[in-house]
Amino acid sequence: MSQDLSQKNKPYLTKVKKMRINKYLAHAGVASRRKAEELILAGKVTVNNVPMTNLGYQVSTGDIVEVNGVAVYNEEPVYYLLNKPRGYISSVSDDKGRQTVMDLMPQVKERIYPVGRLDWDTSGLLLLTNDGEFTNMMTHPRHGVDKVYVAKVEGQANKENLRPLTLGMTIEGKKVSPARYEIIKQEKTKNHSIVSLTIHEGQNHQVKKMFAAAGLPVQKLSRIQYGSLTLDGLPTGQFRRLSKKEVSQLINAAQGN
């Protein structure tokens, strides 16, 4: 997710050990390293008010780095896990005045943002950070970090109607990878089922669209696991900071280690 540079105040003096400029911009959440290089070559990045075109430049403490005239500040990276309730937007702000996940985390001083998103009516595990490179690693389709959802769906889930989910599907012209499922419960009298689904992508409304394509409209949805992370011991609406070990485990999973 790209950083909203318009929210920055300037100037920001960099406080960081020497770091290659594309990596610096990625860590600050501006863009991926490759996109950051494109910004640099396009002349949109300045260091100390001087246009920067040297991709090998090492940003150091005291530098003022700007993109399109807006200062970029590379904070110490932080990583949080939030148990998101339903009824909150997975965004830093909302132009319609709706509550966002940031309203649940007023104590956090760093300028964090959600890693991917959960729909307004979807609850569960949401990561937030100020590390753009980490965000790109967690959300890019080529990185296969498992995400586990539990859905209450209309209808009776069974092997036959869930089989297409395990083969890979095309949804609105986009191919999604094969998923894994487990039927947790079937309520025949109420005509609904509880199913867990494991995916490693994150297209918009992907889980809901997959179930809908199987003829099982989602009535309620929650994400309960992200890589090795779970919500164990974390009440709804609460958050905690990830440990270095947990962050390393997520990165290793994204890198296929």
* Radius of gyration for the chain, computed over Cα atoms and rounded to the nearest angstrom: 20
Class of domain 79-141+229-256: alpha beta
Mean pLDDT by 10 residues, the chain (257 residues): 40 66 84 89 94 93 89 85 97 91 94 92 96 85 86 97 93 90 95 96 89 97 97 97 96 84
Q: Distance (Å, rounded) from C-alpha 190 to C-alpha 182? A: 19
* Amino acid 80: pLDDT: 98
* Amino acid 4: pLDDT: 41
Residues 6+ apart with CB under 8 A from 204: none
* Amino acid 5: pLDDT: 41
Q: What are the backbone dihedrals phi and psi of residue 104, each rounded to the nearest 5 degrees, phi first?
A: -90, -5
Q: What's the pTM? A: 0.78
* Amino acid 200: pLDDT: 87
19-71 matches 79-141+229-256 in fold: no
Domains of the chain by residue range: 19-71, 79-141+229-256, 146-226
Query: 99-104: which pairs have CB atoms within 8 A and are 24 or more residues apart?
Result: 101/126, 101/128, 104/237, 104/239
What is the CATH number assigned to the segment(s) 146-226?
3.30.70.1560
Beta-strand relationship, 122-129 and 218-226? parallel
* Amino acid 74: pLDDT: 73
Helix (H) or strand (E) holding 187: strand 180-187
* Amino acid 132: pLDDT: 81
Active site residues: 119
* Amino acid 13: pLDDT: 54
Specify the amino acid at residue 191.
Answer: N
Q: Distance (Å, rounded) from C-alpha 8 to C-alpha 146? A: 33
Contact status, residue 155 vs residue 216, Cβ threshold 8 Å:
yes
3-class secondary-structure state, position 130: coil
Looking at the domain 19-71, which fold is it? 3.10.290
* Upstream peptide bond of 11 is cis (omega within 30 degrees of 0): yes
Which residues share a beta bridge with 127?
A: 81
Q: Which runs of consecutive H residues, i.e. helices, occur in 115-171?
A: 132-139, 159-167
